[in-house]
Amino acid sequence: MNTDTTSTTSLPAELDVRPLPPRDKHATIFRLWSALPISSGFVLINDHDPVPLYYQFAGQYPGAFSWEYLEQGPEVFRVRITRTAATPAPVPMPAAARPAPKPPPAATGHRP
């Protein structure tokens, strides 16, 4: 795992979740993201499009993250996730009260 960071902490610059059990992936990603200083990020590496994770971020932390596809499969997906604002602990909202999040931004490269 690459350990270069955009801050003075020892947080990784990349997080490869492919070897993790599926039940641990989102919790691991959110733990790392929550520990980031504002304006810092990491590159998530996964074996499928993490769009469900994007919607979880959008629902729990609207306006507090950015999402940039660096590579879009078909074998490997790489997404830069950056913390853009301070956030309180997520508060679950009833689905009817939650605004529908926008879809993730498309990658600049070719998508099959």
The pLDDT value recorded for residue 92 is: 62
pTM higher than 0.75: no
CATH hierarchy code of domain 14-85: 3.30.110.40
Residue carrying the six token digits 């604002």:
85
The pLDDT value recorded for residue 27 is: 93
The pLDDT value recorded for residue 87 is: 86
Which of the residues in the chain have pLDDT under 70? 1-9, 89-101, 107-112
DSSP string across 44-91: EEESS--HHHHHHHHHHSTTSEEEEEEEE-SS-EEEEEEE-S--PPP-
15-32 pLDDT, tens digit each:
999 999 999 999 999 999
The pLDDT value recorded for residue 6 is: 42
